[in-house]
Amino acid sequence: MLFRSMLLRAFTLAGVLLAVLTLLVVILGATGFSERILEAQIDEEIRGIRVGLSETIRDPETLENVLEGQRIELREFYGIDEPWQARLPAIVFRVLTLDLGDAKTLRSFEGDSRISAIVLQRLPNTMILLTTSFALTAVIGLAIGVKMATLAGTKLDRVVSFFAAISFALPAWWIGILLILLFSFKIPIFPSGGMYGVPPPIGNFARIVDLLFHACLPILTLVLVSVGPYLYSVRSMTLNIAKEDHVGVARAKGLTESNIMRKHILRVAAPPIVTGLVMSFIGSLGGSILVETVFNWHGMGQLYFEAVTGTPDEGVIVALTFVFTLLYVLGRFALDVLYLILDPRVRYS
């Protein structure tokens, strides 16, 4: 019964993934964005063909006739002669089957034009930032949030609450720029951007150390914008549960405060605390786009920015939307599983 319920939820989340991709396809097609991208690509290829043919075909009229034939073939190849409703669903199917094709302008670090190779090359770089900031946010939020619940109303509690409000309000890109000005120029401790020094160090260990050194500021940025709201939510949820009757009964039995906090407060508060943490991780996926762009970190966020603001690359945009949505779906499914582990009262039916 439980397996069937979880399988049903997995199919539901897969439907969310498909709906997001379908909506993206409709937007790209209905606004004419996709067609303009393909027309620009065809014009670029025609210019290259013109340069090559002009050396062998001297008659301008003949050259134009040949180029027009090439243009018709390219339009058929890219499917522009078909309505967008018939063309773009094929893109969604190729994304779902990981048949992503080639990017128009973007390339991998080795020069590979395959979209799958480009995205998979950037994915580990983004996960370095997200998983590290996720772990730090969890540790700091739980440690300080639980402690603040025992010091409610004190001056320290008010200071932490004030910091949480500021952390929630400040944009990630502004924090990133501020940290660069402070720790890269005013006090030159960390590099201002990139993933490696110039020239890159030789040797795997040296490269890993250099990578971690360059990752300090972007990780610190992600932690600063996420830890404040999380520790305040942990503090609030822990404080509310600490006022419940079962906690008073535990104290009346003479149990130690550490035992009460661990078994009677945190155990009950675990599901909403984990929910806030996982949703904070999912929310940081969008924030990583600006953070990676500010720090020139070669991850999926910066790739998304390049695919949209440079020469628009439709295939890369759809592929990255698929990956970001897939991470969201996996996070939500992991959250459903964690509910079953952390709260025995929860049963899906």
pLDDT tens figures, 159-199: 888 888 888 888 888 999 999 999 999 988 999 888 888 88
302 Cβ neighbours under 8 A, 6+ residues apart: 122, 289, 292, 293, 296
What is the predicted pLDDT for the residue at 295?
Answer: 93
- Structural domain of 89: 2-96
Flag whether 103 is in a domain.
no
- Counted domains in the chain: 2
Domain termination residue (choose one: 65, 96, 127): 96
Q: What is the mean pLDDT of residues 257-284?
A: 77
pLDDT band at 344; cut points 50, 70, 90 = low
Whole-structure pTM value: 0.74
Using CA of residue 285, residue 290, residue 291, residue 296, what is the dihedral sign? positive
75 touches 81 (CB < 8 A):
yes
Q: Which residue has the higher pLDDT, 195 or 30?
A: 195
Q: What is the mean pLDDT of residues 84-95?
A: 70
* Alpha helix stretches (DSSP H) within 243-313: 245-252, 257-259, 266-294, 300-309
Question: Based on the domain organization, do 141 and 194 belong to the same domain?
Answer: yes
d(CA 150, CA 60): 84
Tens-place pLDDT, residues 129-160: 888 888 898 888 888 888 887 777 788 888 88
275 Cβ neighbours under 8 A, 6+ residues apart: 335
Question: Based on the domain organization, do 125 and 201 belong to the same domain?
Answer: yes
Domain termination residue (choose one: 48, 69, 96): 96
Flag whether 108 is in a domain.
no
Flag whether 205 is in a domain.
yes
Question: Based on the domain organization, do 45 and 134 belong to the same domain?
Answer: no
Question: Based on the domain organization, do 179 and 279 belong to the same domain?
Answer: yes
Question: Based on the domain organization, do 259 and 330 belong to the same domain?
Answer: yes
Flag whether 220 is in a domain.
yes
Domain of 121: which CATH number?
Answer: 1.10.3720.10
